[in-house]
Amino acid sequence: VLNRTEVHGKGYLQQAELPFLFVSNHVTMLDDAFVGTVVFMPRALWDWRFIPYHTPEKKNFFKGPFFSFLMWASKCIPFTRGKGVFQPGMERVIRLLKGKNSVCIYPEGTRTRTGEIGKGKIGVGRIIRETGAKVIPCYHTGLEKVLPIGHKIPRFGHRVKIQIGKALAFDEFMKLPNTPKTWQGISDRIIDAIKDLHNIMEEKKSISNLIGTETSEFGQVEPPPTHAAQNCSGGIRNQK
């Protein structure tokens, strides 16, 4: 709302078979509410299991009876940073995926402070190794301008871009020992997939800048301004 949003690859998610783990980079506390609402509709209207469970930090969101109730009603599972890969929230995520549900999680384990995609934690690797669930990767940018770290009120008028990738299977890892080394290997591959989506987005941006047009999700191209429009706006463009 009040921000320009572009979504590419949404069909990969809308057509995904359950169970799956939806993973993405993590930039703001709005990520779940904003990205989830945009990309899981419209299928979420009729498929309850398709609506993902979320894994927010307990101390940030489960504050008092009222907000705790809202979190539970919103399919949120409390996680405690520093409690490790065998905490109750992790065990519940594994049970949910084995029960043919969907779960949204951030493999980095925390929000980025620099904009860079960090190293993945072994927890997400353990989830995949224990369940065999497929992974839907996602990369988004722009929300860090809507709600920068340290701010509580969202800003408006920004552009948010979301790129979703094909489902990933980890069959080769299912044959490896169920150990932290295997979990880290799975997590590393997930992070690589998110970085690949970032690179795809950057390539699209470079091509758009090169040809001087903006391509929409449906492949339509906005023509460059006419000669008359260029003359009218030239005075403004030439100002520095």
Whole-model pTM: value is 0.81
Q: Is 88 helix (H, G, I), strand (E, B) or coil?
A: helix
Torsion sign (Cα): 211, 216, 221, 227: negative
The share of the chain scoring above pLDDT 90, in percent, equals 55
Residue partners of 85: CB distance under 8 A and separation at least 6: 122, 123, 126, 183
The overall average pLDDT reported for the chain is: 84
Mean pLDDT calculated for residue range 81-99: 94
Q: Is a pLDDT exceeding 60 seen at residue 238?
A: no
Residue-level pLDDT at 182: 98
The predicted-structure confidence for 2-11, as pLDDT tens digits, reads as follows 567 899 999 9
Band (pLDDT 50/70/90 cuts) for residue 92 is very high
Band (pLDDT 50/70/90 cuts) for residue 153 is low
Q: Find the distance separating the first CA and the last CA of the chain, reported in whole Å.
A: 31
